[in-house]
Structure 1
Amino acid sequence: MSKIILITGGSSGIGKSIGEFLTQKGHTVYGTSRNPERITNSKFPLVALDVRNVESIEKAVAEVIAKSGRIDVVINNAGVGITGPLEEIPTSEIKNNFETNFFGPIEVMKAVLPQMRSQKSGLIINITSIAGYMGLPYRSVYSASKGALELITEALRMEVKEFGIHITNVAPGDFATNIASGRFHAPLINGSAYEKPYGNTLKMMDEHVDSGSNPNEMAIAIHKIIQTPNPKVHYKVGVFMQKFSIVLKRILPDKVYEKMLMNHYKL
């Protein structure tokens, strides 16, 4: 059955791959971009939306409803990366990251829930991250923003279940996208106490993204979830070791797991 689907951040990366795949499967897909007029090669329509602006969110949701009469699926995909020693990341950048990765998805959910409640049906898929399951060195803010979205989803699922609305998390690992070019990098400061370890970790993170999985894997996973009558609370999509790291965190003593991470990042 064809569904009306709204994807935030649908002009590039994972969002674009998901949108193209779902369009091929016969669904009506609306993506979003802060500046859709600049995107000339999208295979599905883009509406203007900035997840940091509530008025923008409400206008985009109203536009989709006006055009299609309903919204069956919302994929909260818009997000930004951020790296750096916590001590050296400007507080303004920390707040901006949470505005995009955490408060933005909350406002999108608030905007679509009344429509889904009136339909007595709907599915919200929040794209989080495997990094949200653990505090990663020099990615503290990113881990925190994605981890917070995971927990919000767990709670909200129970609040809206009686209305026929399903909400789930999908946590991707490293995928070959342009996220590295768009993330905020706290600058490497000559003479900083963190200069060498942060520099080495930053290089490793960029290599992981460059050698990441094909974003189509996420698109296939999302399509399967949309076809699932009763989605699970959490899904993880990525290579085995990235998903297994979450299992290890559950079963290993905290200090053993911490040591394992520090060895991985050569700290």
Structure 2
Amino acid sequence: MSMDTFYKQVVIITGCSSGGIGNALARSFAASNCLVVATARSVSSMADLNDKHDVYFLRELDVLSDQSVREVVSNVMDKFGRIDVVVNNAGVQCIGPLAEIPLSSVENTFNTNVYGSMRLIQAVVPHMISRKKGKIVNIGSVSALAAGPWSGVYSASKAALHALTDSLRVELKPFGIDVINIVPGSVKSNIGKTAVASYSKMPEWKLYKKYEAAIKDRAYFSQGPKAIPSDEFANMVVAAIMKKNPPSWFSLGQYSTILAIMYHLPIFVKDFLYNKALMKC
């Protein structure tokens, strides 16, 4: 290992497929002079990161697999001897009415968005504790602040991740580990396409058939014309993470302010606003 490599921070990021937030974060960390271990279920999905072999280290990682997580962490430790930053970005959308959505889809969403993050956290924390240093970054969502119709499963999974992040922040502070909750609003990425692809596998709605168009539109909700570009989002997030004393909570992107406000509104006001929107369907 060269001395230049020795002084660079080692960052593991999950969910780095091209066109996504993780991919943009990988490029931004690399531009900040970090060694980036970019991971995804398929290495070929990250081909655009392969042009700088001294900066990007592409690894196949399935967050649903304990063995896959352990192997990647072990490989990184063998290669670099440390892990400075972990970014739990891998996630899936899940659109549909709660009364009819298959429980298998609910389980897959939580296994990816919640348990997948915990698998990696539990794998890296012992190494970070041994050095009394490290940063764990969880990518949440503003949808967890004000869950609306059709996205209840996704919002619930991110709300669970937010709660875990709050507990971890206090539990790991005595060991010198910072825990940061990144809460994106609308960010331009491929999540709309993947959400629609996932939605296409859903059964035909029976109870909510008249809402079918509105339910499908929800998959594209975060990809409107005012959504912040993923590169801009990534640069601001990385700048916050790389601070000596990073913030515990960092939120930006379209809807981040309005949904933060809605979080503090009385329930009857939130229900009124959502029911009014529902009546237009």
The TM-score with structure 2 as length reference comes to: 0.88
Identity of aligned residues (%): 33
Question: In the aligned structure 1, how far is the partner of 2:114 from the partner of 2:163?
Answer: 11
Amino acid across the alignment from 1:22: F
**Are 1:23 and 2:16 an aligned pair?**
no
Structure 1 segment 40-189 matched on structure 2, within 5 A: 40-43=47-50, 44-183=56-195, 184-185=198-199, 187=202, 189=204
Amino acid across the alignment from 1:10: C
Partner of residue 4, structure 1: 10
* Aligned partners of 1:188 and 1:198 also within 8 Å: no
After superposition, the Cα gap between the structure-2 partners of 1:174 and 1:22, relative to the gap in structure 1 and judged at 3 Å, is same
Task: Tell me how far 1:193 sits from its aligned partner.
Answer: 2.8
Question: In the aligned structure 2, how far is the partner of 1:28 from the partner of 1:129?
Answer: 26
Structure 2, unpaired ranges of 5+: 1-6, 51-55
* Aligned partners of 2:40 and 2:61 also within 8 Å: yes
* Aligned partners of 1:36 and 1:48 also within 8 Å: yes
After superposition, the Cα gap between the structure-2 partners of 1:263 and 1:154, relative to the gap in structure 1 and judged at 3 Å, is same
Structure 1, unpaired ranges of 5+: none
* Aligned partners of 1:188 and 1:199 also within 8 Å: no
Task: Tell me how far 1:202 sits from its aligned partner.
Answer: 2.3
CA RMSD of aligned residues (A): 1.9
Amino acid across the alignment from 2:17: S
The TM-score with structure 1 as length reference comes to: 0.92
Query: Relative to structure 2, which stretch is displaced further, 42-51 or 192-201?
Result: 192-201
Question: In the aligned structure 1, how far is the partner of 2:250 from the partner of 2:48?
Answer: 30
Question: In the aligned structure 2, how far is the partner of 1:188 from the partner of 1:99?
Answer: 21
* Aligned partners of 2:184 and 2:251 also within 8 Å: yes
The count of residues paired between Structure 1 and Structure 2 equals 264
Task: Tell me how far 1:41 sits from its aligned partner.
Answer: 2.5
Partner of residue 223, structure 1: 238
Matched residue SS, 1:74: strand
Question: In the aligned structure 1, how far is the partner of 2:218 from the partner of 2:91?
Answer: 21
Question: In the aligned structure 1, how far is the partner of 2:238 from the partner of 2:202?
Answer: 38
* Aligned partners of 2:150 and 2:218 also within 8 Å: no
